[in-house]
Structures are given as structure tokens and as C-alpha cells.
């Protein structure tokens, strides 16, 4: 139901935040701008950063067996994803503050709206990053190195839309790094199945973030910001179908490589059921897509939390098979 006139929106609420989110309802007044800067009122981004981590540890465990450290990998990556998504979004808003001020959907964000100064935003970003580092150093040395290596991708991403129509690739490179990190945290070394899983996640990111970018395509075109939404245009559905297929093939190769069909046929079948379910959800999104309806694009983008949970569930069941 729509909001009534008797229920005013909380002061400083960001335009695309969930209505009635916990930040607006429960957080202290002084903390709200910083939590909004970290997108704590819009949790979908944390899920999209976290889910590849859970894919990686679940698939690694399905191939080599469950280890007690896996419980901490699941919990630690959950905390780390929340912190690093917040730090990354803070960095993104610092670099994009002038662009955000010119886009209807983003001008209400804390920096362009004047809720947080750039200096305070930098301090907040550093605090989040250092706390995340404390989580990272509880993993093995190879995983720590993987985590540190991801910082370059995080730093580059906000600038990608200034020089390429493919910023979604840079987002995918950063957001799916957790598949590699969690795999290494479990196994101690990188393997080809993890690389295939990483590539599958990148294709998935291009899929969902292109849908997301269609919300801003008019403003982006006016201010000169590039995206796959502008590049694909009316061919978006066809292009996204291609990335859907590529993601499924790569994820299936990851499952086959991690488990090995000759070693545990039941586990392979269960894992591939997860791949199929993931594909079915993405296909459903394509059937619902209307690139000229911003509300539909936002709803479908958010639906990718459920899509990404499907492989987590079935890869986890494969561990038990």
C-alpha cells in the first residue's frame, strides 16, 4: 500500500531505500547518515557481495569435504561483506558526489544532500576497511593475500563508467572476488573450479546490474556516464540471455570440476540442480523485464538475492550427499 500523508518519510531518507527500513526506524539520528552512506538501508548489495563467497566455500566443501573452519568462513565473510560493501559504497559516493547530485535517484544520498562531509566520509571508509581487515587476518595466508589483492578492483570501479560502456564488468570483477577468496580460505590454494565460479558470477553481475542501470539511463546519457544499459538499449533482453547462458555453463563447469562426476555422482546431480534453479530464476527475471519501468527494474535487481541463494542451498546439500 502507498504511504499515507499522515506518515511522513524520515528526514534524510535515500530515494531508493526500502520504506520502513531499520536504519530509518531504529538507528540513532547521528548514525543514520553514515549507515545510509554504507547502504545499510539497502541490504541487497551486501547479499550480492556475500553470495559468491558462500558459493565458493560450499562448492569447495562439496569437493573436498566439510571442515570446521567452514563455519567461520561463512560467518566471517558475512561480516566482512557487510563492512566492505559499506566501505566500497562510501568510496563510490566520494568519487561520484558530483555525478550523484545530477541524477534524480541519487541526489538524496548523504554526500550530495549535505548529510555527510567528504572528510567524514573518508574517515568512515577507513574505519570500515580496517575492521574488515581484522576479519580477513583470521583466514589463512593465501586468503589474506587474495583479500588484499581485491582492493585495486574496489578502487577502480567507480571510475569505470567514465571511460567504458562496460563498468558492469569491473563491478563483477570486484563483487565476485569472494568466490575465489572463500575457496582459498577452505582449500589453501586457488583451483580452476573457483575461477569458473568467479567467471559465472561476473556474467551474473552484468545481468543484474544492467537491469539496475536501466533506472538511470536517461540521466546517465545526459551527464555522459556510460553503462551496459545504454550500450545494449533495445537489445538488452537478448544480450542478458547470452550472459545468462554463459553464467550457467561456467557454474556447471565449476561444479563438475570441484566435485568430479566419477567421485560422487549424487553430489554432482544435486549441485547441477542448483545451477538449473539459478538459471530458471534468471529466466523468470527476463520474462518480467521492462527496461522502461524503473520500479520493475529495481524489483528484479533486488530479486537476485533469491536467485543467488539457490546455488548456495544446493551446493550446501551437495556437501552432505
Cell of 304: 537476485
**Could you tell me if 157 and 35 are in contact, meaning their C-beta atoms sit under 8 angstroms apart?**
no
- The answer, yes or no, to whether residue 59 has pLDDT greater than 70, is yes
CA dist 48 and 88 (Å) reads 13
What are the pLDDT digits (tens) for 136-154? 999 999 999 999 999 999 9
Which carries the bigger pLDDT value, residue 4 or residue 92?
92
What pLDDT is stored for residue 9 in this prediction? 52
Structural domains in the chain, sorted by start: 43-320 (1.10.357.140)
Report the alpha-carbon angle 281-154-191, nearest 5: 65
What are the pLDDT digits (tens) for 168-201? 999 999 999 999 999 999 999 999 999 999 999 9
CA dist 285 and 211 (Å) reads 10
What are the pLDDT digits (tens) for 247-295? 999 999 999 999 987 668 899 999 999 999 999 999 999 999 999 999 9
What are the pLDDT digits (tens) for 10-32? 567 776 677 778 888 888 888 88
Q: What is the mean pLDDT of the chain?
A: 91
Report the alpha-carbon angle 280-302-227, nearest 5: 95
Element (H, E) at 206: helix 192-213
Arithmetic mean of pLDDT, 89-103: 85
Band (pLDDT 50/70/90 cuts) for residue 128 is very high
Cell of 170: 569491473
pTM: 0.91
What pLDDT is stored for residue 2 in this prediction? 40
Alpha helices in 41-140 (DSSP H): 44-64, 69-95, 97-101, 118-136
Band (pLDDT 50/70/90 cuts) for residue 212 is very high
What pLDDT is stored for residue 1 in this prediction? 39
What pLDDT is stored for residue 8 in this prediction? 44
3 DSSP 8-state letter: P
- The answer, yes or no, to whether residue 111 has pLDDT greater than 60, is yes
Amino acid at each position: 500500500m502507498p504511504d499515507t500523508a499522515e506518515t511522513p518519510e524520515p528526514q534524510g531518507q535515500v530515494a531508493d531505500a526500502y520504506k520502513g527500513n531499520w536504519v530509518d526506524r531504529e538507528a540513532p539520528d547521528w548514525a543514520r547518515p553514515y549507515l545510509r552512506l554504507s547502504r545499510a538501508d539497502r541490504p541487497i548489495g551486501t547479499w550480492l557481495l556475500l553470495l559468491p563467497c558462500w558459493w565458493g566455500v560450499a562448492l569447495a566443501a562439496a569437493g573436498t569435504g566439510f571442515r570446521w573452519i567452514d563455519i567461520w568462513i561463512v560467518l566471517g565473510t558475512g561480516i566482512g561483506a557487510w563492512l566492505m560493501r559499506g566501505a566500497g559504497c562510501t568510496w563510490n559516493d566520494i568519487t561520484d558526489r558530483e555525478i550523484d547530485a545530477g541524477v534524480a535517484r541519487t541526489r538524496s544520498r548523504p554526500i550530495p544532500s549535505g548529510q555527510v562531509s567528504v572528510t567524514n566520509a573518508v574517515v568512515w571508509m577507513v574505519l570500515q576497511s580496517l575492521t574488515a581487515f581484522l576479519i580477513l587476518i583470521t583466514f589463512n595466508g593465501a586468503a589474506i593475500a587474495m583479500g588484499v589483492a581485491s582492493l585495486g578492483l574496489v578502487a577502480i570501479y567507480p571510475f569505470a563508467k567514465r571511460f567504458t560502456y562496460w563498468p558492469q564488468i569491473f563491478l563483477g570483477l570486484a563483487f565476485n572476488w569472494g568466490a575465489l577468496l572463500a575457496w582459498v580460505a577452505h582449500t589453501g590454494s586457488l583451483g580452476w573450479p573457483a575461477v569458473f565460479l568467479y567467471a559465472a558470477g561476473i556474467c551474473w553481475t552484468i545481468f543484474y546490474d544492467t537491469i539496475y542501470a536501466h533506472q538511470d539511463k536517461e540521466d546517465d546519457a545526459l551527464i555522459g556516464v556510460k553503462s551496459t544499459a545504454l550500450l545494449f538499449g533495445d537489445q538488452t533482453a537478448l544480450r542478458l540471455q547470452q550472459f545468462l547462458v554463459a553464467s550457467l555453463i561456467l557454474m556447471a563447469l565449476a561444479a563438475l570440476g570441484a566435485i568430479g562426476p566419477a567421485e560422487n555422482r549424487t553430489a554432482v546431480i544435486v549441485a547441477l540442480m542448483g545451477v538449473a534453479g539459478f538459471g530458471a530464476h534468471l529466466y523468470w527475471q527476463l520474462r518480467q523485464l521492462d527496461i522502461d519501468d524503473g520500479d520493475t527494474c529495481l524489483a528484479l535487481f533486488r530479486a537476485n538475492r533469491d536467485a543467488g541463494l539457490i546455488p548456495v542451498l544446493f551446493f550446501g546439500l551437495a556437501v552432505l550427499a
